[in-house]
Amino acid sequence: MQELTHFINGAHVKGTSGRFADVYNPALGEVQAKVPLASKEELDAAVAAAAAVQPAWAATNPQKRARVLMKFVQLLNRDMDKLAEALSREHGKTLPDAAGDVQRGLEVVEFCIGAPHLLKGEFTDSAGTGIDMYSMRQPLGVVAGITPFNFPAMIPLWKMAPALACGNAFILKPSERDPSVPLMLAELLQEAGLPDGLLQVVNGDKESVDAILDNDTIEAIGFVGSTPIAAYIYERGCANGKRVQCFGGAKNHMIIMPDADMDQAADALVGAGYGAAGERCMAISVAVPVGNDTADRLIEKLVPRIEALKVGPYTAGNDVDYGPVVTAAAKANIERLVQSGLDQGATLAVDGRDYNLQGYENGYFVGPHLFDNVTKDMDIYTTEIFGPVLSTVRAETYEEALGLAMDHEYGNGTAIFTRDGDTARDFAKRINIGMVGINVPIPVPLAYHTFGGWKKSVFGDLNQHGPDAFRFYTRTKTVTSRWPSGTKEGGEFSIPVMD
């Protein structure tokens, strides 16, 4: 069996804690590797080594740092198929979806090549008599990212690329469920010319997370995962004086107005609800048709599309719509929530409970489910299911539909499908959710905008990627400069004011 490693100081390093986690092939339900779980001592040693080399990287011209990322982009494109296959093998995504995972991370790396421009400060000439003022954006030092299983390429790239472009050293603690791709990314950055020690990949579990939170050298932490863990990391990290941004759970609503193109809406819901087996924080998990006629027409369109979905392993070809969920525990939790929906009175319009794939009976496959007549007090509505389950909540009016999305505790993403510009504009303006789609089901912003939700979907005040990433991974220093001319007249003892 393959034994994975950490990546420390430019090389693969075996773990020394004696603790390991199993890495599964979720399509087969079989262990395919084991990954070391770092101790606090291992984590602290990796941080100390990163801190030793970070000052020289910070002093490197930002254009030279950007050139490393330019080469990194070339290598990511070169190894795209290799990365996608490794990602699919450990996560279960289809190959096209896995390649998309890498691609959306690559696009952030491309944006970060513009670091020389993004790191420019401000300058005021003659702010006072003989006085100039200017600001500098400087790196924090050593920063860390704790990333999730569902995007093992994209989220690490979203974190590490801007952090390194800004002149920081970066400690990555990826998910122990699918750790191979983060290790491959570290190899490619090394090949691109990143100096040893600036990217340390430390595999681990809660012990490693707590070591990151408590390490005095680490200045900032980025996290993506569930809301309870996001809250824990945010509170403990902030209590230790760190800058922290945490992105948590979601329950994304898509409102379908009576005037919407129903075929377009149904296609969008199927892709957004069932892609990646629903294991996306931006997945649409709640459809809100306005009016019973709209709901009936929508369900009529959805049922045959959902029943025709092809579920299988990534090795079955690119026409597979989605693969298994990541673990047996995830599958059991989805099945429990589906049963709760039935017990609480929802109508199961598409029943995927008896899904079975010949030859893959031990895999973590879950058939597609569609619920109708869901109410907002049901567990399948209040809880993030993170599986191939779409719930339909019928609303009588637009205002009721808007209220459902606004009243939910999560505020990651939302969408509306309509042909009416006034309705769309009103929705975008009023909704209290961070990312909004108008006839776009998964409104993930491109790399040069920022990604982030509202309410209990986020903890912290700056978003991921885009300009916010450069704000998060730097601190501002403001300099007031005076070069006196003429005769010096002695010190001034009152606070300076403008003439």
In tens digits, what is the pLDDT along the chain, a chain of 499 residues? 899 999 999 999 999 999 999 999 999 999 999 999 999 999 999 999 999 999 999 999 999 999 999 999 999 999 999 999 999 999 999 999 999 999 999 999 999 999 999 999 999 998 888 899 999 999 999 999 999 999 999 999 999 999 999 999 999 999 999 999 999 999 999 999 999 999 999 999 999 999 999 999 999 999 999 999 999 999 999 999 999 999 999 999 999 999 999 999 999 999 999 999 999 999 999 999 999 999 999 999 999 999 999 999 999 999 999 999 999 999 999 999 999 999 999 999 999 998 999 999 999 999 999 999 999 999 999 999 999 999 999 999 999 999 999 999 999 999 999 999 999 999 999 999 999 999 999 999 999 999 999 999 999 989 999 999 999 999 999 999 998 776 566 667 777 676 5
Pairing of strands 389-392, 284-289: parallel
Q: What are phi and psi of 377, to 5 degrees?
A: -95, -5
Choice among 112, 166, 246, 281 that is catalytic: 281
Q: CA-to-CA distance for 374 and 379, rounded, in angstroms?
A: 10
Q: Residue 431: CB partners within 8 Å, gap ≥ 6?
A: 402, 405, 406, 414
DSSP 243: E
Q: What are phi and psi of 490, to 5 degrees?
A: 95, 175
Tell me, letter by letter, the H, E, C secondary structure of 335-355.
HHHHHHHHHCCCEEEECCCCC
Question: 162-184 burial, b for 16+ CB within 10 Å, e for fewer?
Answer: bbbbbbbbbbbbbbbbbbbbbbb
User: Considering the chain, what is the average pLDDT of its residues?
Assistant: 96
CA 488 to chain centre: 57
Whether residue 281 lies in the annotated active site = yes
pLDDT, tens digit (0-9, with 9 covering 90-100), for 139-175: 999 999 999 999 999 999 999 999 999 999 999 999 9
Nearest alpha-carbon partner for 119 in 175, 183, 65 = 65
Task: Provide the angle, in degrees to the nearest 10, between the axes of the packed helices 95-112 and 80-91.
Answer: 120
Query: How many helices and strands (H and E) does the chain possess?
Result: 16, 23
Residue 150's identity, in one-letter code, is: N
Q: CA-to-CA distance for 48 and 43, rounded, in angstroms?
A: 9
Handedness of CA 461, 146, 415, 377 (dihedral sign): negative
10 Å Cβ neighbour count for 416?
Answer: 29
Nearest alpha-carbon partner for 144 in 96, 214, 64 = 214
Q: Coil, strand, or helix at residue 228?
A: helix
- The H-or-E segment that residue 417 falls in is strand 413-417
| Residue with token string 């020690």 | 197
CA dihedral 46, 148, 378, 374 (to 10 degrees): 170
Q: What are phi and psi of 58, to 5 degrees?
A: -65, -35
Q: What are phi and psi of 436, to 5 degrees?
A: -125, 135
10 Å Cβ neighbour count for 129?
Answer: 9
Q: What are phi and psi of 216, to 5 degrees?
A: -70, -25
Written as one string, the DSSP assignment of 438-491 is: ES-SS-PPPTTS-B--EETTEESS--BSTHHHHHHTEEEEEEEEE---S-----
| Residue with token string 């998990």 | 285
**How many CA atoms within 13 Å lie on the side-chain side of 69?**
27
Task: Please tell me whether the overall predicted TM-score, pTM, comes out greater than 0.75 for this model.
Answer: yes
pLDDT, tens digit (0-9, with 9 covering 90-100), for 234-256: 999 999 999 999 999 999 999 99
* All domains of the chain in start order, with CATH: 2-248+457-479 (3.40.605.10), 252-438 (3.40.309.10)
Q: Can you read off the two tokens belonging to residue 229?
A: 């863990």
Contact 394, 287 (CB under 8 A): no
